Chains A and B, each alone.
Chain A
Amino acid sequence: MSVLELRGVSKTYGEAPAKVHALDGVDLSVQAGEMVAVMGPSGSGKSTLLTIAGSLEEPTSGDVLVCGMAVAGMPRARRARLRRRVIGFVFQDFNLLPGLTAAENAALPLELDGVAVPKARAAGLAALDALGVAHRAGWFPDQLSGGERQRVAIARAVVGDRRLLLADEPSGALDSVNADEVMRLLHEACARGVAAVVVTHDAQLAAWADRVVFLRDGRVTGRTARPPGPESLLTPREIR
């Protein structure tokens, strides 16, 4: 079963003649353990796709299923619970709460979901540990480097038993070596069974994904297959 499935999803804003088609009949299916990148230029509809996949916005037409459950028509409270328990978000600018420590930030989604504070904090610490920043648990966001902040943000996105991770340019604010590290950690989260959708305009980021979907003017214009192993690159080539 797909963790996320979009079937013929369209989204329009405004009224004719100023109607804008942000998404136009998009199909996308993401399995557990898989990372899919959605790549496209500004205005291609990739952020709209992410907000619809995250049930933050309703499509104009088409179906969105998260873990097999149709999001359309779901009562508001149930949809909010789905977001708290199943979906994690990672943003380019981290979106950590400045007044909370790294551990408190990581544990926040569970606390908001009613999990007892000690249990939520223990889960938050475990998530920080998995991302190699447990030693910063008591630090505040402004005391952390950009790379460390994004690790805390990823810990917050996967804390508990999240199944779907939605990331919007997750390493856009980082240098390329730290960006690699963030993508490696997202990939490791997928290896533990999380399904991830990463939207980006950056080909180097997209190349970390198992599959890449190209979006332009709200439409899918191409898809890569799962890449073959890197052995094909090591075929001897003579040099001069």
Chain B
Amino acid sequence: MSVPHFLLALLAEGPKYGLQLREEFEAGTGEVWPLNVGQVYKTLSRLERDGLAESDGAGSDGRDKTGQKRFRITPRGDEALAAWLRMPPDLTSPPRDELVMKVLVAARVPGTDVHEVIQAHRQYLVELMQQWTRLKEGEARDDLGLALVVDAELFRLDAVTRWLDAADTRLRRAAAEPARPAPAAGSAPAPQLRRLGVRR
């Protein structure tokens, strides 16, 4: 979650005060990700330092008559925002997912039914999805920001349940098939691709 870029997007609509930015950030993300005031001002001072935002007040330090600072985006900030929006997030290397590890381990521990472990996780995920769906049925009907956040969460959880379904089926098939012989010593090394990309 990139707070600096979300704040830049809010400033692209026009100059705003810190407290106003905090309120609009929370409203724009369906109030699912609360943001504290200190974090807003810390981020704004970093944006100012990097020349992406500036304060435009009456006083020399950018404060107006009420003593509050108003911020606006700079041309460099506009460019940085446009570039960030089009920059793909880093999804190239698979994270070392805890759930994947649990299933891999469950498949090896003697006396453990890996399918029962998978079902326990599947059930937990569906229960979580039921709660998000209640939110979609209710508050998110009239709140576009919240509806988008809820959809994102549901698709993410759905992807995990699909992976569990696939793992369940693969493990059943593997158990039903005769074991393949291990590769002979000195045979071709594992493809380089298998060694790539796992985040430490």
**A and B co-occur in one complex:** yes
Q: Is the C-beta of A224 less than 8 angstroms from some C-beta in chain B?
A: yes
Q: What separation, in Å, do the CA atoms of A240 and B39 have in the docked complex?
A: 9
* A236 touching B130, Cβ below 8 Å: no
The interface stretch among A15-23, A55-63, A76-84, A204-212 is A204-212
The answer to whether B126 and A212 touch across the interface, beta carbons within 8 angstroms, is yes
Please, which residues of chain A bring their CB within 8 A of the CB of B125? 203
Give the distance to chain A from B4, nearest Cβ to Cβ, in Å: 11
Tell me the A158-205 residues at the B interface (CB within 8 Å): 176, 180, 184, 187, 201-204
Q: List A contacts of B62 (CB < 8 A).
A: none
Q: Which B residues, 115 to 159, have Cβ-Cβ distances below 8 Å to chain A? A: 115, 119-120, 122-123, 125-127, 129-139, 151, 154-155, 157-158
Flag if A206 contacts B126 (CB, 8 Å). yes
Asked if B31 is at the interface (CB within 8 A of a chain A CB), the reply is yes
B3 contacts the other chain (Cβ, under 8 Å)? yes
Contact B136 A203 (CB under 8 A): no
Complex CA–CA separation, A240 to B38 (angstroms) = 12
A215-239 contact mask (Cβ, 8 Å, vs B): 1 or 0: 0100001111101111011101111
Shortest distance from the beta carbon of A78 to any chain B beta carbon, whole Å: 37
Is A89 close to B, CB under 8 A? no
A226 to chain B, nearest CB (A): 9
CB distance from A121 to the nearest CB of B (A): 32
Q: A203-B129, A207-B126, A207-B154 are in contact. Are A234 and B31 (CB under 8 A)?
A: yes
Q: If the complex has contacts A212-B126, A222-B123, are A203 and B161 also in contact, measured as CB distance less than 8 A?
A: yes
With A208-B133, A229-B134, A239-B1: A39-B34 Cβ-Cβ less than 8 Å: no
Q: Answer whether residue B100 sits at the interface, using C-beta atoms and an 8 A cutoff.
A: no
- Which of chain A's residues has its CB closest to B146's CB? A234
Give B122 Cβ to nearest chain A Cβ, in Å: 7
Total residues of chain B contacting the partner, CB 8 A? 37
Cβ of A41 within 8 Å of any chain B Cβ, yes or no, is yes
- The answer to whether B130 touches A209 (Cβ under 8 A) is yes
Which residue of A has the minimal Cβ distance to B125? A203
Number of interface residues of A (CB under 8 A): 34
Residues of A within 8 A of B138 (CB): 230
Cα distance A180–B158 when bound, in Å?
Answer: 14
Contact B158 A214 (CB under 8 A): no
Task: Tell me if A238 and B36 are in contact (CB < 8 A).
Answer: yes
B residues 141-187 near A (Cβ < 8 Å) are 151, 154-155, 157-158, 161-162, 165, 168-169
- Structural contact, B134 and A230, CB atoms closer than 8 A: yes
Establish whether residues A237 and B33, one from each chain, have CB atoms under 8 Å apart when the complex forms: yes
23 A–B contacts from the bound complex (CB under 8 Å): A41-B169, A180-B136, A184-B137, A202-B158, A203-B125, A203-B157, A203-B158, A204-B129, A204-B133, A204-B155, A207-B126, A207-B129, A207-B130, A207-B132, A208-B133, A208-B137, A214-B122, A214-B123, A221-B119, A230-B138, A230-B139, A233-B132, A239-B3
Show the binding face of B for A, using Cβ within 8 Å.
1, 3, 31-36, 115, 119-120, 122-123, 125-127, 129-139, 151, 154-155, 157-158, 161-162, 165, 168-169
For the complex with contacts A216-B119, A222-B123, A238-B36, 4 further pairs of A-B residues with Cβ separation under 8 Å are A212-B123, A230-B132, A233-B131, A233-B135
